[in-house]
Structure 1
Protein backbone atom coordinates (compact mmCIF):
# COMPACT_ATOMS: atom_id res chain seq x y z
CA UNK A 1 0.00 0.00 0.00
CA UNK A 2 2.76 2.44 0.93
CA UNK A 3 4.60 1.67 -2.30
CA UNK A 4 1.41 2.15 -4.33
CA UNK A 5 0.67 5.50 -2.68
CA UNK A 6 4.24 6.62 -3.26
CA UNK A 7 4.00 5.65 -6.92
CA UNK A 8 0.76 7.57 -7.34
CA UNK A 9 2.27 10.64 -5.69
CA UNK A 10 5.33 10.43 -7.96
CA UNK A 11 3.14 10.10 -11.06
CA UNK A 12 1.03 13.03 -9.94
CA UNK A 13 4.08 15.19 -9.33
CA UNK A 14 5.46 14.30 -12.76
CA UNK A 15 2.16 15.14 -14.45
CA UNK A 16 1.92 18.41 -12.56
CA UNK A 17 5.46 19.27 -13.61
CA UNK A 18 4.67 18.57 -17.25
CA UNK A 19 1.52 20.66 -17.08
CA UNK A 20 3.43 23.47 -15.39
CA UNK A 21 6.14 23.46 -18.07
CA UNK A 22 3.47 23.54 -20.78
CA UNK A 23 1.71 26.39 -19.00
CA UNK A 24 4.97 28.32 -18.84
CA UNK A 25 5.57 27.89 -22.57
CA UNK A 26 2.03 29.02 -23.31
CA UNK A 27 2.07 31.93 -20.86
CA UNK A 28 4.93 33.95 -22.34
CA UNK A 29 3.87 37.46 -23.13
CA UNK A 30 5.78 40.34 -24.76
CA UNK A 31 7.30 42.90 -22.43
CA UNK A 32 5.30 46.10 -21.83
CA UNK A 33 5.27 48.22 -24.98
CA UNK A 34 6.42 45.32 -27.19
CA UNK A 35 4.41 43.41 -29.78
CA UNK A 36 5.03 39.77 -30.60
CA UNK A 37 6.27 38.94 -34.12
CA UNK A 38 5.66 35.20 -33.66
CA UNK A 39 2.55 33.75 -32.02
CA UNK A 40 4.30 30.53 -31.01
CA UNK A 41 1.72 28.33 -32.74
CA UNK A 42 2.08 28.89 -36.49
CA UNK A 43 3.75 31.09 -39.10
CA UNK A 44 1.03 33.73 -39.36
CA UNK A 45 2.53 37.08 -40.31
CA UNK A 46 5.54 35.53 -42.04
CA UNK A 47 6.27 35.11 -45.74
CA UNK A 48 8.69 34.40 -48.57
CA UNK A 49 9.74 37.38 -50.67
CA UNK A 50 11.23 37.83 -54.12
CA UNK A 51 14.94 37.21 -53.88
CA UNK A 52 16.92 40.39 -54.51
CA UNK A 53 20.61 40.83 -55.43
CA UNK A 54 22.97 41.35 -52.52
CA UNK A 55 23.72 44.91 -53.65
CA UNK A 56 20.08 45.88 -53.14
CA UNK A 57 19.24 46.99 -49.63
CA UNK A 58 15.47 46.53 -49.75
CA UNK A 59 13.72 43.17 -49.39
CA UNK A 60 11.64 41.99 -52.34
CA UNK A 61 7.87 41.82 -52.73
CA UNK A 62 5.84 39.21 -50.84
CA UNK A 63 5.25 36.08 -52.95
CA UNK A 64 3.89 33.57 -50.42
CA UNK A 65 2.39 33.86 -46.94
CA UNK A 66 1.90 31.21 -44.26
CA UNK A 67 -1.00 32.38 -42.11
CA UNK A 68 -2.35 29.50 -40.04
CA UNK A 69 0.34 27.08 -41.25
CA UNK A 70 2.77 25.36 -38.91
CA UNK A 71 5.31 24.66 -41.68
CA UNK A 72 6.37 26.30 -44.92
CA UNK A 73 5.04 24.46 -47.96
CA UNK A 74 7.04 21.67 -49.61
CA UNK A 75 10.44 22.41 -48.08
CA UNK A 76 9.39 22.59 -44.39
CA UNK A 77 12.53 24.62 -43.74
CA UNK A 78 10.60 26.66 -41.21
CA UNK A 79 8.26 25.22 -38.61
CA UNK A 80 6.40 26.43 -35.54
CA UNK A 81 5.75 24.31 -32.47
CA UNK A 82 5.31 24.96 -28.75
CA UNK A 83 6.56 28.54 -28.84
CA UNK A 84 9.61 27.87 -31.01
CA UNK A 85 10.26 28.84 -34.63
CA UNK A 86 12.75 26.30 -36.02
CA UNK A 87 15.00 27.05 -39.01
CA UNK A 88 16.69 24.21 -40.89
CA UNK A 89 19.37 24.22 -43.58
CA UNK A 90 18.03 24.85 -47.12
CA UNK A 91 19.51 22.44 -49.66
CA UNK A 92 18.00 23.88 -52.86
CA UNK A 93 20.40 25.68 -55.13
CA UNK A 94 18.82 29.15 -55.19
CA UNK A 95 18.40 29.09 -51.39
CA UNK A 96 15.25 31.21 -51.70
CA UNK A 97 13.57 29.35 -48.87
CA UNK A 98 16.59 30.07 -46.73
CA UNK A 99 15.02 33.46 -46.03
CA UNK A 100 11.75 33.97 -44.15
CA UNK A 101 10.45 37.49 -43.56
CA UNK A 102 7.71 39.26 -41.69
CA UNK A 103 4.92 40.53 -43.91
CA UNK A 104 5.05 43.79 -41.95
CA UNK A 105 7.76 46.36 -42.59
CA UNK A 106 9.21 48.71 -40.00
CA UNK A 107 10.16 52.25 -41.04
CA UNK A 108 10.09 53.52 -37.46
CA UNK A 109 12.86 53.42 -34.90
CA UNK A 110 12.46 50.27 -32.84
CA UNK A 111 13.88 47.76 -30.39
CA UNK A 112 13.88 44.11 -31.45
CA UNK A 113 14.43 41.31 -28.94
CA UNK A 114 14.57 37.58 -29.58
CA UNK A 115 16.14 34.45 -28.15
CA UNK A 116 17.98 31.85 -30.23
CA UNK A 117 19.48 28.42 -29.68
CA UNK A 118 22.02 27.09 -32.20
CA UNK A 119 23.04 23.53 -32.93
CA UNK A 120 26.78 22.90 -33.08
CA UNK A 121 28.37 25.07 -35.82
CA UNK A 122 24.94 26.29 -36.98
CA UNK A 123 24.86 29.29 -39.32
CA UNK A 124 21.78 31.50 -39.45
CA UNK A 125 21.07 35.19 -39.68
CA UNK A 126 18.66 37.95 -38.71
CA UNK A 127 17.65 40.42 -41.42
CA UNK A 128 17.00 43.93 -40.18
CA UNK A 129 15.14 45.76 -42.98
CA UNK A 130 17.27 43.50 -45.26
CA UNK A 131 20.90 43.89 -44.05
CA UNK A 132 21.92 40.77 -42.15
CA UNK A 133 23.20 40.34 -38.62
CA UNK A 134 25.03 37.01 -38.41
CA UNK A 135 23.37 34.72 -35.89
CA UNK A 136 25.40 31.54 -35.37
CA UNK A 137 26.95 29.13 -32.94
CA UNK A 138 29.36 31.99 -32.45
CA UNK A 139 32.29 30.38 -30.65
CA UNK A 140 32.59 27.72 -33.36
CA UNK A 141 31.21 29.41 -36.49
CA UNK A 142 32.21 33.02 -35.76
CA UNK A 143 32.39 35.80 -36.64
CA UNK A 144 32.12 36.94 -33.02
CA UNK A 145 34.48 34.36 -31.49
CA UNK A 146 35.40 36.34 -28.38
CA UNK A 147 32.00 36.53 -26.71
CA UNK A 148 32.26 35.81 -22.99
CA UNK A 149 28.58 35.31 -22.23
CA UNK A 150 27.46 33.27 -25.21
CA UNK A 151 25.96 29.93 -24.10
CA UNK A 152 26.59 27.09 -26.60
CA UNK A 153 23.50 25.02 -27.43
CA UNK A 154 21.45 27.07 -24.98
CA UNK A 155 19.16 30.08 -25.27
CA UNK A 156 20.82 33.45 -25.90
CA UNK A 157 19.30 36.93 -26.15
CA UNK A 158 19.76 39.17 -29.19
CA UNK A 159 18.75 42.81 -28.80
CA UNK A 160 18.75 45.28 -31.68
CA UNK A 161 18.08 48.99 -31.23
CA UNK A 162 17.43 50.95 -34.42
CA UNK A 163 17.77 54.73 -34.39
CA UNK A 164 17.87 56.93 -37.51
CA UNK A 165 18.91 54.16 -39.85
CA UNK A 166 21.59 52.64 -37.63
CA UNK A 167 21.30 49.42 -35.62
CA UNK A 168 23.13 48.67 -32.37
CA UNK A 169 23.17 44.88 -31.87
CA UNK A 170 24.08 42.83 -28.81
CA UNK A 171 24.10 39.19 -27.68
CA UNK A 172 23.55 38.71 -23.95
CA UNK A 173 24.63 42.33 -23.52
CA UNK A 174 27.88 42.07 -25.53
CA UNK A 175 28.18 44.23 -28.64
CA UNK A 176 28.04 42.42 -31.99
CA UNK A 177 27.62 45.46 -34.23
CA UNK A 178 27.82 49.00 -32.86
CA UNK A 179 26.51 50.79 -35.95
CA UNK A 180 25.00 48.59 -38.67
CA UNK A 181 23.65 50.82 -41.44
CA UNK A 182 20.09 50.14 -42.57
CA UNK A 183 17.75 51.29 -45.36
CA UNK A 184 14.74 53.47 -44.54
CA UNK A 185 12.30 50.60 -44.13
CA UNK A 186 11.96 46.86 -44.48
CA UNK A 187 10.88 43.66 -42.70
CA UNK A 188 12.49 41.45 -40.10
CA UNK A 189 13.82 38.18 -41.50
CA UNK A 190 15.45 34.90 -40.51
CA UNK A 191 17.84 32.76 -42.54
CA UNK A 192 19.04 29.16 -42.54
CA UNK A 193 22.49 28.39 -43.95
CA UNK A 194 23.79 25.44 -41.91
CA UNK A 195 22.53 23.23 -39.11
CA UNK A 196 19.44 23.97 -37.02
CA UNK A 197 18.52 27.24 -35.35
CA UNK A 198 15.63 27.77 -32.96
CA UNK A 199 14.07 31.16 -32.23
CA UNK A 200 11.54 32.18 -29.59
CA UNK A 201 10.13 35.27 -27.86
CA UNK A 202 10.43 37.49 -30.93
CA UNK A 203 9.16 40.91 -29.90
CA UNK A 204 9.43 44.46 -31.20
CA UNK A 205 8.75 47.89 -29.71
CA UNK A 206 8.42 50.97 -31.88
CA UNK A 207 10.28 54.02 -30.64
CA UNK A 208 9.43 57.72 -31.09
Structure 2
Protein backbone atom coordinates (compact mmCIF):
# COMPACT_ATOMS: atom_id res chain seq x y z
CA UNK A 1 0.00 0.00 0.00
CA UNK A 2 2.87 2.40 0.77
CA UNK A 3 4.33 1.82 -2.71
CA UNK A 4 0.97 2.53 -4.38
CA UNK A 5 0.52 5.69 -2.30
CA UNK A 6 4.01 6.86 -3.26
CA UNK A 7 3.27 6.23 -6.94
CA UNK A 8 0.01 8.17 -6.79
CA UNK A 9 1.80 11.07 -5.09
CA UNK A 10 4.52 11.08 -7.73
CA UNK A 11 1.95 10.96 -10.54
CA UNK A 12 0.19 13.94 -9.03
CA UNK A 13 3.32 16.01 -9.61
CA UNK A 14 3.52 14.92 -13.28
CA UNK A 15 0.26 16.04 -14.94
CA UNK A 16 -1.25 13.54 -17.35
CA UNK A 17 -3.49 14.41 -20.26
CA UNK A 18 -5.65 11.88 -22.06
CA UNK A 19 -5.57 12.25 -25.82
CA UNK A 20 -6.92 10.56 -28.90
CA UNK A 21 -3.59 9.23 -30.14
CA UNK A 22 -3.24 6.94 -33.15
CA UNK A 23 -0.10 5.11 -34.35
CA UNK A 24 1.75 6.47 -37.35
CA UNK A 25 0.94 5.11 -40.81
CA UNK A 26 2.21 1.53 -41.12
CA UNK A 27 2.74 1.15 -37.36
CA UNK A 28 0.77 -1.02 -34.93
CA UNK A 29 0.18 0.10 -31.35
CA UNK A 30 1.51 -2.25 -28.63
CA UNK A 31 -0.41 -0.38 -25.91
CA UNK A 32 -4.07 0.49 -26.30
CA UNK A 33 -3.89 3.38 -23.82
CA UNK A 34 -6.67 1.90 -21.67
CA UNK A 35 -5.32 -1.27 -20.06
CA UNK A 36 -2.51 -3.86 -20.18
CA UNK A 37 -4.03 -6.10 -22.84
CA UNK A 38 -1.20 -7.82 -24.72
CA UNK A 39 1.26 -7.47 -21.82
CA UNK A 40 2.46 -10.09 -19.34
CA UNK A 41 4.99 -11.20 -16.75
CA UNK A 42 7.58 -13.79 -17.80
CA UNK A 43 9.89 -16.22 -16.03
CA UNK A 44 13.38 -14.96 -15.43
CA UNK A 45 16.04 -16.64 -17.56
CA UNK A 46 19.83 -16.56 -17.53
CA UNK A 47 21.44 -13.53 -19.13
CA UNK A 48 23.19 -15.60 -21.81
CA UNK A 49 20.01 -17.54 -22.66
CA UNK A 50 18.63 -16.08 -25.93
CA UNK A 51 15.14 -17.45 -25.29
CA UNK A 52 12.53 -15.26 -23.58
CA UNK A 53 11.07 -16.58 -20.37
CA UNK A 54 7.77 -18.42 -20.39
CA UNK A 55 4.67 -16.32 -19.71
CA UNK A 56 3.60 -16.53 -16.06
CA UNK A 57 0.72 -14.02 -15.97
CA UNK A 58 -1.22 -12.11 -18.61
CA UNK A 59 -2.80 -8.74 -17.83
CA UNK A 60 -5.49 -8.49 -20.51
CA UNK A 61 -8.20 -6.03 -19.52
CA UNK A 62 -6.40 -4.94 -16.35
CA UNK A 63 -5.36 -1.38 -15.54
CA UNK A 64 -2.89 -2.62 -12.93
CA UNK A 65 -0.43 -5.50 -13.27
CA UNK A 66 -1.18 -8.23 -10.72
CA UNK A 67 -1.68 -6.68 -7.27
CA UNK A 68 1.72 -5.07 -6.91
CA UNK A 69 0.89 -1.56 -8.03
CA UNK A 70 4.04 -1.37 -10.12
CA UNK A 71 2.38 -0.92 -13.52
CA UNK A 72 -0.66 1.33 -13.60
CA UNK A 73 -2.52 2.54 -16.70
CA UNK A 74 -4.00 6.02 -16.54
CA UNK A 75 -4.88 8.59 -19.20
CA UNK A 76 -3.09 6.79 -22.02
CA UNK A 77 0.09 6.16 -20.01
CA UNK A 78 1.74 3.12 -18.41
CA UNK A 79 3.26 4.36 -15.15
CA UNK A 80 6.06 2.21 -13.74
CA UNK A 81 7.28 2.30 -10.16
CA UNK A 82 10.22 0.36 -8.80
CA UNK A 83 9.91 -3.04 -7.07
CA UNK A 84 11.60 -4.17 -3.90
CA UNK A 85 14.59 -6.48 -4.27
CA UNK A 86 12.46 -9.43 -3.13
CA UNK A 87 10.07 -9.16 -6.06
CA UNK A 88 12.43 -7.75 -8.68
CA UNK A 89 10.97 -10.00 -11.37
CA UNK A 90 7.65 -8.17 -11.28
CA UNK A 91 9.56 -5.02 -12.18
CA UNK A 92 9.66 -6.36 -15.73
CA UNK A 93 6.61 -6.19 -18.00
CA UNK A 94 6.68 -7.78 -21.46
CA UNK A 95 4.55 -8.05 -24.57
CA UNK A 96 2.91 -11.41 -25.12
CA UNK A 97 3.92 -11.11 -28.78
CA UNK A 98 7.46 -11.79 -29.98
CA UNK A 99 9.13 -10.03 -32.89
CA UNK A 100 11.41 -12.15 -35.11
CA UNK A 101 11.38 -9.82 -38.13
CA UNK A 102 13.18 -6.53 -38.68
CA UNK A 103 11.23 -3.65 -37.15
CA UNK A 104 11.12 -0.05 -36.03
CA UNK A 105 9.93 0.55 -32.46
CA UNK A 106 8.91 4.00 -31.28
CA UNK A 107 7.75 5.06 -27.85
CA UNK A 108 7.71 8.09 -25.60
CA UNK A 109 8.87 8.14 -21.99
CA UNK A 110 8.93 10.60 -19.11
CA UNK A 111 11.23 10.06 -16.13
CA UNK A 112 10.93 11.49 -12.64
CA UNK A 113 14.16 12.94 -11.19
CA UNK A 114 16.92 10.27 -11.16
CA UNK A 115 14.49 7.55 -12.28
CA UNK A 116 16.04 4.32 -13.57
CA UNK A 117 14.27 2.01 -15.99
CA UNK A 118 14.91 0.10 -19.18
CA UNK A 119 13.44 -1.13 -22.44
CA UNK A 120 13.96 -4.79 -23.32
CA UNK A 121 14.43 -5.40 -27.04
CA UNK A 122 13.80 -9.11 -27.66
CA UNK A 123 15.78 -9.60 -24.44
CA UNK A 124 18.80 -7.25 -24.18
CA UNK A 125 18.13 -4.06 -22.26
CA UNK A 126 18.44 -0.48 -23.43
CA UNK A 127 18.83 1.82 -20.43
CA UNK A 128 15.94 4.28 -20.25
CA UNK A 129 16.38 6.78 -17.43
CA UNK A 130 16.53 10.38 -16.34
CA UNK A 131 19.67 10.36 -18.45
CA UNK A 132 21.42 13.57 -17.43
CA UNK A 133 21.29 12.58 -13.75
CA UNK A 134 21.18 8.77 -13.77
CA UNK A 135 23.28 8.20 -16.91
CA UNK A 136 24.74 6.44 -18.73
CA UNK A 137 24.12 8.91 -21.57
CA UNK A 138 24.84 12.12 -19.64
CA UNK A 139 26.04 14.10 -22.68
CA UNK A 140 22.73 14.13 -24.53
CA UNK A 141 21.78 17.60 -25.80
CA UNK A 142 18.18 17.00 -26.86
CA UNK A 143 16.98 15.11 -23.74
CA UNK A 144 14.26 17.01 -21.85
CA UNK A 145 14.27 16.32 -18.08
CA UNK A 146 10.86 15.45 -16.64
CA UNK A 147 9.23 15.94 -20.04
CA UNK A 148 8.24 13.54 -22.80
CA UNK A 149 11.12 12.14 -24.89
CA UNK A 150 11.04 9.73 -27.82
CA UNK A 151 13.01 6.49 -28.12
CA UNK A 152 13.34 5.02 -31.59
CA UNK A 153 14.84 1.56 -32.15
CA UNK A 154 15.57 0.21 -35.62
CA UNK A 155 16.25 -3.53 -35.67
CA UNK A 156 17.88 -5.03 -38.75
CA UNK A 157 19.51 -8.46 -39.03
CA UNK A 158 19.89 -8.96 -35.29
CA UNK A 159 21.31 -5.51 -34.51
CA UNK A 160 19.48 -2.53 -32.95
CA UNK A 161 20.23 1.14 -33.61
CA UNK A 162 18.75 3.15 -30.73
CA UNK A 163 18.17 6.90 -30.41
CA UNK A 164 16.59 9.36 -27.98
CA UNK A 165 15.13 12.46 -29.65
CA UNK A 166 17.36 11.67 -32.62
CA UNK A 167 20.62 11.32 -30.65
CA UNK A 168 22.36 7.94 -30.71
CA UNK A 169 22.24 5.87 -27.53
CA UNK A 170 23.44 2.54 -28.94
CA UNK A 171 24.67 2.21 -32.51
CA UNK A 172 24.80 -1.59 -32.76
CA UNK A 173 23.13 -3.45 -29.87
CA UNK A 174 23.25 -7.17 -30.62
CA UNK A 175 19.98 -9.07 -30.28
CA UNK A 176 18.79 -12.69 -30.35
CA UNK A 177 16.69 -13.95 -33.26
CA UNK A 178 13.34 -13.21 -31.62
CA UNK A 179 11.75 -12.05 -28.41
CA UNK A 180 9.25 -9.63 -26.84
CA UNK A 181 9.41 -5.94 -26.03
CA UNK A 182 9.63 -5.16 -22.32
CA UNK A 183 9.55 -2.30 -19.82
CA UNK A 184 11.41 -2.27 -16.51
CA UNK A 185 11.15 -0.35 -13.26
CA UNK A 186 14.22 -0.01 -11.02
CA UNK A 187 14.03 3.40 -9.34
CA UNK A 188 11.61 6.30 -9.27
CA UNK A 189 8.60 6.71 -11.55
CA UNK A 190 8.75 6.14 -15.31
CA UNK A 191 5.89 6.74 -17.69
CA UNK A 192 5.52 5.28 -21.19
CA UNK A 193 3.05 6.07 -23.96
CA UNK A 194 2.60 5.88 -27.75
CA UNK A 195 4.30 2.46 -28.00
CA UNK A 196 4.19 1.46 -31.67
CA UNK A 197 5.99 -0.95 -33.96
CA UNK A 198 6.33 -1.51 -37.69
CA UNK A 199 7.85 -4.48 -39.50
CA UNK A 200 10.42 -3.50 -42.13
CA UNK A 201 12.31 -5.47 -44.81
Tell me by how many angstroms 1:202 deviates: 0.3
Counterpart for residue 8 of structure 2: none
Q: 2:40 & 2:190 partners in 1: Cα distance?
A: 18
TM-score w.r.t. length of structure 2: 0.90
Q: 1:74 & 1:137 partners in 2: Cα distance?
A: 27
Q: Secondary structure at the match of 2:86?
A: coil
What does the per-residue CA deviation read over 1:41-64, in whole Å, with 9 as the maximum and x for residues that have no partner?
000000000111222232201110
Counterpart for residue 12 of structure 2: none
Counterpart for residue 37 of structure 2: 44
Larger radius of gyration: 1
Counterpart for residue 110 of structure 1: 103
Q: 2:144 & 2:190 partners in 1: Cα distance?
A: 14
Q: Secondary structure at the match of 1:140?
A: helix
Unaligned runs of 5+ in 1: 1-20
Q: 1:73 & 1:162 partners in 2: Cα distance?
A: 31
Matching of residue 136 in structure 1 with residue 129 in structure 2: yes
Q: 2:182 & 2:53 partners in 1: Cα distance?
A: 12
Of 115-124 and 91-100, more deviation after overlay is shown by: 91-100
TM-score w.r.t. length of structure 1: 0.87
Q: 1:104 & 1:26 partners in 2: Cα distance?
A: 25
Q: Which has the higher helix share?
A: 1
Counterpart for residue 173 of structure 1: 166
Tell me by how many angstroms 1:76 deviates: 1.4
Paired positions, count: 186
Q: Secondary structure at the match of 2:140?
A: coil
What does the per-residue CA deviation read over 1:16-50, in whole Å, with 9 as the maximum and x for residues that have no partner?
xxxxx96xx33110000000000000000000001
Matching of residue 87 in structure 1 with residue 80 in structure 2: yes
Counterpart for residue 34 of structure 1: 27
Counterpart for residue 156 of structure 2: 163
The list of structure 1 runs, each at least 4 consecutive aligned residues, that deviate by more than 6 angstroms after superposition, is none
Matching of residue 72 in structure 1 with residue 65 in structure 2: yes
Within 5 Å, give how 1:6-25 maps onto structure 2. 25=18
Counterpart for residue 145 of structure 2: 152
